[in-house]
């Protein structure tokens, strides 16, 4: 099976898990505030629906996506259009919003499956191939899903799908530095993360001078900025590795404010 097929299966599974959580909710629960300031559960699902929709556009018509992004930035005077689109979607009836998200994510899967090998897709950050786009959609579905779980006081069990998010977190190391106008470290780090099933996931040379270790789940929460570093069991050995954990960011776009220390104690 092709890599993209595996990724799309995991994206489907990640989406279905969140779908199963929100589908039975009543209208009041859809309006429950999440840890993202000003965003309710409905905002989170509306954002996922919209990003799936525009990712499919990027896959099918890169020029139209670029034109759409230019128009949106000009109309909103910056990246604030992301909040505007989420607010617009959140005003839909829950059943209509859920139906839209289901339709948009199915359309995205079909669009990504049809992208020719080697073709790069435009996005809000650097251009990426279809496999990386699918990985990014897994990450964002999981990250915004975390906000929904937190809003509802629900707990979800970590899965092996975290490997995709961890991999993306490792790959975006230099992006986090550049995003803040800082020079990226010149050498690779050794990353050793304990997977949910207990095995070790590793990246980088074994003899690297600087290392990051800890549970894969905690690392994913860190790079997605869903928990404060001090509340997680992720450890750095080396000054550059320590600096990275303070600014790690797996998502494209402006740096987020993250979460407060002790917010989820």
How would DSSP label each residue in 129-185? -HHHHHHHHHHHHHHHHHHHHHHHT------TTHHHHHHHHHHTHHHHHHHTT-PPP
In the predicted structure, residue 129 carries a pLDDT above the cut 90:
yes
Segment 13-20 shows an average pLDDT of 98
Q: How far apart are CA 53 and CA 101, in angstroms?
A: 9
The Cα angle at residue 105 between residues 99 and 110, in degrees rounded to 5:
130
DSSP secondary structure, 78-143, as one string = STTHHHHHHHHHHTS-HHHHHHHHHHHHHHHHHHHHTSPTT--B--SSS-B-HHHHHHHHHHHHHH
pLDDT digits (tens, 9 = 90+) for 178-192: 989 999 999 999 999
In the predicted structure, residue 177 carries a pLDDT above the cut 90:
yes
In the predicted structure, residue 199 carries a pLDDT above the cut 80:
yes
Specify the range with the lowest mean pLDDT, choosing from 47-56, 106-115, 201-210, 246-255: 246-255
1 pLDDT band, cuts 50/70/90, is very low
Strands 235-237 and 211-215, sheet pairing: antiparallel
Sorted by where each begins, the domain ranges of the chain are 3-130, 162-247
Q: How many CA atoms lie within 13 A of 124 on its CB side?
A: 20
Spelled out in words, what is the top-level CATH class assigned to the domain 162-247? alpha beta
Write down the mean pLDDT value for the chain: 94
Containing 236, the helix (H) or strand (E) segment is: strand 235-237
Segment 126-137 shows an average pLDDT of 95
In the predicted structure, residue 255 carries a pLDDT above the cut 80:
no
pLDDT digits (tens, 9 = 90+) for 51-106: 999 999 999 999 999 999 888 888 766 667 899 999 999 999 999 999 999 999 99
Bridge partners, residue 191, by sequence? 203, 212
User: Selecting from 1.20.120.450, 1.10.645.10, 3.40.50.360, 3.30.300.30, what CATH number does the domain 3-130 have?
Assistant: 1.20.120.450
Phi, psi of 61 (to 5 degrees): -145, 80
Segment 209-238 shows an average pLDDT of 97
């Amino acid at each position: 099976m092709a890599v993209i097929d595996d990724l799309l299966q995991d994206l489907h599974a990640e989406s279905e898990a969140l779908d199963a959580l929100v589908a039975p909710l009543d209208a009041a629960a859809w309006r429950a505030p999440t840890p993202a300031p000003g965003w309710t559960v409905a905002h989170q699902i509306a954002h996922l629906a919209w990003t799936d929709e525009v990712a499919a556009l990027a896959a099918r018509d890169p020029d139209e996506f670029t034109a759409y992004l230019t128009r949106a930035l000009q109309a909103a005077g910056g990246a604030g259009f992301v909040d505007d689109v989420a607010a617009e979607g959140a005003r839909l009836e829950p059943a209509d919003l859920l139906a839209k998200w289901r339709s948009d994510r199915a359309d995205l899967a079909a669009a990504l499956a049809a992208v020719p090998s080697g073709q790069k897709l435009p996005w809000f950050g650097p251009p990426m191939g279809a496999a990386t786009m699918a990985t990014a959609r897994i990450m964002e579905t999981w990250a915004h899903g975390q906000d929904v779980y937190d809003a509802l006081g629900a707990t979800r069990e970590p899965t092996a799908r975290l490997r995709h998010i961890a991999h993306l977190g490792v790959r975006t190391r230099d992006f986090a530095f550049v995003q803040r106008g800082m020079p990226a470290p010149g050498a690779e780090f050794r990353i050793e993360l304990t997977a949910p099933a207990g095995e070790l996931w590793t990246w980088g040379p074994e003899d690297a001078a600087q290392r990051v270790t800890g549970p894969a789940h905690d690392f994913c929460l860190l790079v997605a900025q869903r928990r404060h570093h001090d509340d997680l069991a992720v450890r750095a050995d080396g000054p550059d590795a320590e600096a990275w954990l303070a600014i790690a960011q797996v998502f494209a776009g402006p740096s987020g404010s993250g979460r407060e220390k002790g917010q989820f104690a």
